[in-house]
């Protein structure tokens, strides 16, 4: 505080909802990449068949997948929510799979990423996409539970069937 007393300044801190400056967590999101890829695939298909733009527009207008993917038919994206900060290490974890990798010497083609919510410490486990849930559970017990214990919550963007069968 000794340093600041030489300066004439005023602290301004907007409280609660008065702080309306947009940040990364308050922006709405929408994913258009899947629509663009599908349209690109269609255009390539039609280009090969030497069809004209009018034919493409007519086909897209009647193609159910394109109609469903239009922005006006999508649910509006919600605000991203902050996750609660856990009180203990490895009490809350997130997990995801990095897929589409080339096969390694150990026959692994997926990386299973498991991250602690408090410390952001991560484990990167090489797995194979064809491994059963039983094998993944054995690896999880060996690599995570033996080292850190059982977490009280797991956050994953996988299908509910995966996480419900996992636990």
Provide the Cα torsion 132, 137, 140, 146; round to 10°: -150
Report the CATH number of the 92-166 domain. 3.30.420.10
Q: How does pLDDT run across 7-21, given as a tens digit for each residue?
A: 777 777 666 565 555
- Tens of pLDDT, residue by residue over 136-167, are 889 999 999 999 999 988 888 776 656 665 65
Average pLDDT estimate for 103-126: 93
- Residue 77 · residue 92 · CB < 8 Å: no
Largest pairwise CA distance in the chain = 76
State both tokens at 98: 């990095």
Yes or no: say if 20 and 26 are a contact pair by the CB < 8 Å rule.
no
Residue 53, both tokens: 């733009």
Q: Can you give the three-state secondary structure of 109-160, one letter per residue?
A: CEEEEEEECCCCCEEEEEECCCCCHHHHHHHHHHHHHHHHCCCCEEEECCCH
Which of 18-32, 46-60, 118-132 has maximum average pLDDT?
118-132
Mean of per-residue pLDDT scores for the chain: 77
* CATH 3.30.420.10 residue ranges for the chain: 92-166
Q: Give the model confidence (pLDDT) of 56-78 as tens digits.
A: 677 777 777 766 666 666 667 77
pTM of the predicted protein model = 0.52
pLDDT beyond 70 at 40: no
pLDDT at site 119: 93
Q: What is the pLDDT of residue 83?
A: 80
């Amino acid at each position: 505080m000794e340093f600041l007393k030489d300066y004439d300044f005023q602290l301004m801190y907007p409280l609660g909802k008065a702080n309306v400056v947009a940040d990364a967590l308050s922006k709405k999101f929408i994913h258009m990449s899947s629509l663009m890829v599908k349209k690109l695939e269609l255009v390539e298909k039609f280009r090969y068949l030497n069809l004209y733009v009018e034919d493409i527009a007519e086909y897209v207008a009647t193609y159910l997948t394109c109609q469903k993917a239009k922005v006006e038919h999508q649910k509006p994206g919600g605000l991203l929510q902050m996750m609660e900060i856990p009180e203990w290490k490895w009490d809350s974890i997130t997990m995801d799979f990095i897929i589409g990798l080339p096969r390694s010497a150990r026959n692994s083609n997926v990386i299973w990423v498991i991250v602690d919510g408090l410390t952001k410490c991560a484990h990167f486990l090489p797995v194979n996409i064809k491994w059963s849930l039983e094998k993944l559970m054995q690896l999880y017990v060996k690599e995570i539970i033996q080292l850190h214990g059982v977490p009280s919550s797991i956050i994953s963007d996988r299908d509910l069937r995966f996480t419900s069968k996992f636990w």
